[in-house]
Amino acid sequence: MKLKNIYRFVLFITVVVATFVSCSNDDSKNTVDDVSDTIKDGTWKVSYFYDSGKDETLNYAGYDFVFGSNDVLTATKETNSYIGMWSVAKSTSDNDLFSTIFKISMNPVDIFQDLNGDWKVMENTGTSVKLKDDSKGETAIDYLTFEKIVQ
């Protein structure tokens, strides 16, 4: 009988440990610090932008984005440069308490207006950062992906 109880105890401990290990968030690179460190490293381009039901990626072709220190964002295309701000923070919304929010605020140049706002970080691979904006409701979700430019 004691041996049966020992097997049950070992099985219980194994299940508990496996549950905690499989639920670990260590593989996630979506924390505020991880996203901030990733995006500050290098030059980026918009590799995908889906806005209000349309693919608008081509609007940003040729633009290089640098997410610099002091939250300064620079977008450059040929000889034209535009300055804005960026930041990464933990969500304070009750609906998104565990989300990391990527904020973009560019000067009032028409092409950048659609990038402005609070974006939820969906994925950070180190070479791409995938963002989502569902503030307009589930019927109008926008997607934005920045991809690191390899130089």
Percent of the chain at pLDDT above 70?
76
d(Cα 77, Cα 67) in Å, to the nearest integer? 15
- Domain of 139, CATH number, reads 2.40.128.270
87 occurs within a structural domain? yes
98 occurs within a structural domain? yes
For the stretch 85-104, pLDDT in tens is 999 998 877 666 678 999 99
19 occurs within a structural domain? no
36 occurs within a structural domain? yes
Range of the domain at 132: 28-148
* 39-64 CB burial, b ≥16 within 10 A, e <16: beeeebbbbbbbbeeeebbebbeebb
pTM: 0.77
Residue that wins the pLDDT comparison between 80 and 108: 80
The total number of structural domains in the chain stands at: 1
d(Cα 123, Cα 127) in Å, to the nearest integer? 10
CA 8 to chain centre: 43
16 occurs within a structural domain? no
Over range 15-27, report the average pLDDT: 47
12 occurs within a structural domain? no
For the stretch 106-116, pLDDT in tens is 987 788 999 99
18 occurs within a structural domain? no
40 occurs within a structural domain? yes
